[in-house]
Amino acid sequence: MKTQALLLIGVLLVAGCARPVPVTDTGHGIYSVSEKAFGPDGARIAYGTAFGAAQRFCALRGDALYAVILDAQVRGFTDPAGPGAELRFRCDR
């Protein structure tokens, strides 16, 4: 019973952390999405989450995702802003 209660609490905490990743219009058809994730693989996880949000955003518009690679940044674990990623992209047919 105690194990089930702890498992339920854990599931609720993880579900409470799930949220949509906001996409920002930076102008001229370029969009930006930023995400943070902590832990040893935080930057990699954050980049994957940001990339997935960008893909969903473009798919809802019926377009394909084109990353603007030069503006992509992956912040490392020692960065004061914390581990995370920022992806700039555009959607096009």
The residue range of the domain holding 88 is 22-92
How far apart (Å, rounded) are the C-alpha atoms in residues 54 and 1?
41
- pLDDT tens-place string over residues 74-90: 666 666 666 778 888 99
Give domain status of residue 11, yes or no: no
- CA nearest 55: which of 33, 35, 85? 33
Give domain status of residue 53, yes or no: yes
Task: Look up the pTM and report it.
Answer: 0.67
Number of domains the chain contains: 1
Give domain status of residue 79, yes or no: yes
Give domain status of residue 87, yes or no: yes
- pLDDT tens-place string over residues 30-89: 999 988 877 777 778 888 888 899 999 999 999 998 888 544 556 666 666 667 788 889
Give domain status of residue 12, yes or no: no
Is 58 buried (19+), middle (13-18) or exposed (0-12) by CB count in 10 A? buried
How far apart (Å, rounded) are the C-alpha atoms in residues 11 and 7?
6
Give domain status of residue 9, yes or no: no
Give domain status of residue 68, yes or no: yes
Q: Is 86 helix (H, G, I), strand (E, B) or coil?
A: strand
Give domain status of residue 17, yes or no: no
